[in-house]
Structure 1
Amino acid sequence: MSRLNDEWKVEKHGPLEMLGEGLHSVAGEINMPLGHFPRRMTVLTLQGGRLAVWSAIPLRETEMAQLESMGSVAYLIVPGVAHRLDLKAWKHRYPAAKVVCPPGAREAVAEAVPVDATVDVLDDPTVAFQTVPGVDGKEAALLIRRPDGTSLVVNDIIANVRHPDGLGAKVMARLMGFGVKQPQMPWVGEKMFVKDHAAVAGALRAWAAEPDLARIIVSHGDVITDRPREVLEKIAAEVSD
């Protein structure tokens, strides 16, 4: 696991993009030998002018000012054990923000900062914080149901790294199954986290059955907007095999 950053360390990243009603995302990068591996932060506006930040990435001050203009940072969601790299810096900048993670990640996240909750405390009827079934409590998901469509935010159970940058990133993405050709469950994540394949497949199928499913937002790679329902059903079938 990478050493945790204590300071606000800005790596290369793109703009804060609006994906849907009260839903923004930033594509960033992690420096690695011989390349840069993609990572993604999601920012969700909740009722009452509050913000929930999923898989936090330090941004340039221009983008941080844009983010802060949307509301107050109330929650820092750590979706899995490997996504706490910049948590200390964010908590230092927003000390009142509550830290939320799935129960199986609590011990690892607490090595960075204290955890406030491992259940849904977002207090917004359009948003559901979930612990993914079948992964020993180590992965979280968000289901966002709004008038312009339903969005699913997942972490390391689905990846869509279609454009790895640099030799190291290309090798890592291909060898570990991070979705270079099509969205997939990384084999490294399946090996490390999945304890009950049937339960994971059931969750994927339940999400696929959501009315008005418009997109799947992953922590590594491009947002999935092309037939997201079919993507979930295909991965569920692969997990079940």
Structure 2
Amino acid sequence: MTKLSVNINKIATLRNSRGGNVPNLVQVAKDVQDFGANGITIHPRPDERHIRYQDAYDLKPVVTTEYNIEGNPIQKFTDLVLDIKPTQVTLVPDGEDVLTSNAGWDTIKHQSYLKEVVAEFKNAGIRTSIFIETDLKLIEGAAKTGVDRIELYTEDFAKEFEKGNKEAIKPYKEAAVLAHELGLGINAGHDLNLDNIEFFKNNIPNLAEVSIGHALISESIYLGIENVVNMYLHRLQ
């Protein structure tokens, strides 16, 4: 079964919009794990517009499944991850001004830098993953960094699937096949939702984990978060 890691950034966004601690991020993390989720994902950004750096510490003792921290490995982020030692760190090349993640790593251009970062995290016993697009040369580049996994950036697939274009899955399948051959684990995320997740999972071999936040929280407004978590788990079986 492909694991479901729930990204709770949007819970933090809602909390921050009014101040105080409603909804309670830590309690939501506990609840979604109780509902069956296999992991918790957060993505702190330098401006702390949703997840705050303190949240990462507050969540550590309550995440009893897998703890995945995503972000651009600037020094502040790197120090945070090395201090907390989550299950996994996912490296995302976000600029400080981006609204949401909108590109994967160029693992050829930045290969030397990524090797250093990956080695630092792996030496601390943290599984490492690189957010990446489907270009096969970039997949090969990722393998040369020493990373454990890749996370396929799935926005293009999601947009095309919504239009009825199921052929959009092909480059993702090819990327996953090559990644597996190169010894890389395969994660995926960005705009996956209840409508497309089962098709994606059924067509991507060796898919270890999906990280889903915006869609899952939005769907939960209508259907309830416990129900939605279990709907994803059912589709991922």
TM-score interval (norm. to shorter): 0.3 to 0.5
TM-score with structure 1 length normalisation?
Answer: 0.34
Question: Which structure has the highest strand share of the two?
Answer: 1
Greater relative contact order (CA < 8 Å, ≥ 6 in sequence): 2
Question: Which structure has the highest helix share of the two?
Answer: 2
TM-score with structure 2 length normalisation?
Answer: 0.34
